[in-house]
Amino acid sequence: MPAALSDRTRGWLRFIWDKATTEDDWSINGTPHEWWDRDSTPPMCTFPRFDVSETAYILPVLADQTPAWREVYSRIADELVGRFTTFWAAIDWITMVGHDPNRDQYPPEWLAYLPPHLQGRYDPPGWPANGVEPWGLQPDPIAADGNLFFRGFFTLLLGTYRYVAGNEKWEQPFNMVGYREQTFEWTHYRIAEFLNQQWKDRPQGPHCENTKIWPFCLSAAGLGLQLTDNTTGTKFHGVYDEWVEFAMKNWIKKDRRGGLLEFPWYYDPIEEVMFGHQVGATPFAALGITPYVLPQNREFGEYLYREAVRLLGWDDPKKPFHQFLPDPRFLPATLLIAQDLGDTTTATRIREYMEEHCEPRWFGDEDTRFGWWFGTGEKYPRGQLSALTMVCEAASKGAWSQAFNNTYHKDRFSEPTVEGIDYPTVGVMRAWNDPEEGVLNLSTYAATPSRRGNATSFRITNLPDTGAVTIRLDGADYRRWRATGDTTIEIDTDVGDHEFKITTGVHSGARANTSSASTSTSRVIVSASAVPKIYSMSGIKTCSSSCC
pLDDT per position as a tens digit, 485-506: 999 999 999 999 999 999 999 9
Nearest to 131 by CA among 122, 119, 142, 139: 139
For position 221, what pLDDT does the model report?
A: 98
Q: Are residues 206 and 324 in the same domain?
A: yes
Nearest to 77 by CA among 150, 141, 159, 15: 159
Q: Is residue 69 part of a domain?
A: yes
Bin 438: left if φ > 0, else alpha if -120 < ψ < 50, else beta: left
- What is the full DSSP assignment across 500-530? EEEE----TT---S-TTTTT--------GGG
pLDDT in tens, 159-217: 999 999 999 999 999 999 999 999 999 999 999 999 999 999 999 999 999 999 999 99
Of 492 and 523, which is predicted with more confidence?
Answer: 492
Contact 11, 345 (CB under 8 A): no
Contact 533, 25 (CB under 8 A): no
For position 509, what pLDDT does the model report?
A: 55
Query: In angstroms, what CA-CA distances link 264 with 114, 207, 250, 280, 333?
Result: 12, 14, 11, 10, 17
Q: Is residue 544 part of a domain?
A: no
For 79-112, b/e burial (b = at least 16 CB within 10 A) is bbbbbbbbbbbbbbbbebeeebeebeebeeebee
Percent of residues, the chain, with pLDDT higher than 70: 93
* pLDDT of residue 515 exceeding 50: no
Q: Are residues 378 and 420 in the same domain?
A: no
Q: Are residues 344 and 474 in the same domain?
A: no
Q: d(Cα 267, Cα 276) in Å, to the nearest integer?
A: 9
Q: Is residue 536 part of a domain?
A: no
For position 530, what pLDDT does the model report?
A: 32
**Quick one: average pLDDT of 34-55?**
97
Q: d(Cα 72, Cα 447) in Å, to the nearest integer?
A: 13
Which of 403, 432, 452 marks a domain boundary? 403
Residue 483 burial by Cβ neighbours in a 10 Å radius (0-12, 13-18, 19+): middle
Which residues are CB-neighbours of 109 under 8 A, at least 6 positions away? 42, 326
The whole domain housing 512 covers 414-529
pLDDT-derived band at 533 (thresholds 50, 70, 90) equals: very low
Which of 403, 423, 445 marks a domain boundary? 403
Number of neighbours of residue 1 by Cβ within 10 angstroms: 7
pLDDT in tens, 315-333: 999 999 999 999 999 999 9
Percent of residues, the chain, with pLDDT higher than 90: 92
Q: d(Cα 12, Cα 7) in Å, to the nearest integer?
A: 9
Number of DSSP helices (H) and strands (E) in the chain, helices first? 16, 17
pLDDT-derived band at 514 (thresholds 50, 70, 90) equals: very low
Q: Is residue 259 part of a domain?
A: yes
Q: d(Cα 23, Cα 30) in Å, to the nearest integer?
A: 11
Q: Are residues 395 and 437 in the same domain?
A: no
User: For the chain, how many structural domains are there in total?
Assistant: 2
Q: Are residues 305 and 254 in the same domain?
A: yes
Contact 542, 478 (CB under 8 A): no
Q: d(Cα 39, Cα 275) in Å, to the nearest integer?
A: 23
Q: Is residue 464 part of a domain?
A: yes
Measure CA of the first residue to CA of the last residue in the chain; give whole Å.
57
**Quick one: average pLDDT of 103-122?**
95
Amino acid identity at 195: L
For position 516, what pLDDT does the model report?
A: 32
Mean per-residue pLDDT of the chain: 93
pLDDT in tens, 274-328: 999 888 999 999 999 999 999 999 999 999 999 999 999 999 999 999 999 999 9
Q: Are residues 451 and 320 in the same domain?
A: no
For position 349, what pLDDT does the model report?
A: 98
Q: Are residues 455 and 485 in the same domain?
A: yes
Contact 11, 362 (CB under 8 A): yes
For position 543, what pLDDT does the model report?
A: 43
For position 520, what pLDDT does the model report?
A: 32
Q: d(Cα 52, Cα 15) in Å, to the nearest integer?
A: 13
Q: Are residues 444 and 384 in the same domain?
A: no
Contact 362, 384 (CB under 8 A): no
Provide the whole-model pTM: 0.93
For position 279, what pLDDT does the model report?
A: 82
Q: Is residue 542 part of a domain?
A: no
Query: Residue 160's domain is classified under what CATH number?
Result: 1.50.10
Give the three-state DSSP class for 494. strand
Which of 403, 436, 454 marks a domain boundary? 403
Contact 16, 98 (CB under 8 A): no
For position 185, what pLDDT does the model report?
A: 98
For position 278, what pLDDT does the model report?
A: 85
**Quick one: average pLDDT of 397-408?**
97
For position 540, what pLDDT does the model report?
A: 32
* pLDDT of residue 108 exceeding 60: yes
* pLDDT of residue 439 exceeding 90: yes
Q: Are residues 251 and 210 in the same domain?
A: yes
* pLDDT of residue 269 exceeding 90: yes
Q: Is residue 337 part of a domain?
A: yes
Contact 458, 490 (CB under 8 A): yes
Q: Are residues 245 and 172 in the same domain?
A: yes
Q: Is residue 546 part of a domain?
A: no
For position 532, what pLDDT does the model report?
A: 32
Q: Are residues 174 and 296 in the same domain?
A: yes
Q: Are residues 439 and 523 in the same domain?
A: yes
* pLDDT of residue 524 exceeding 60: no
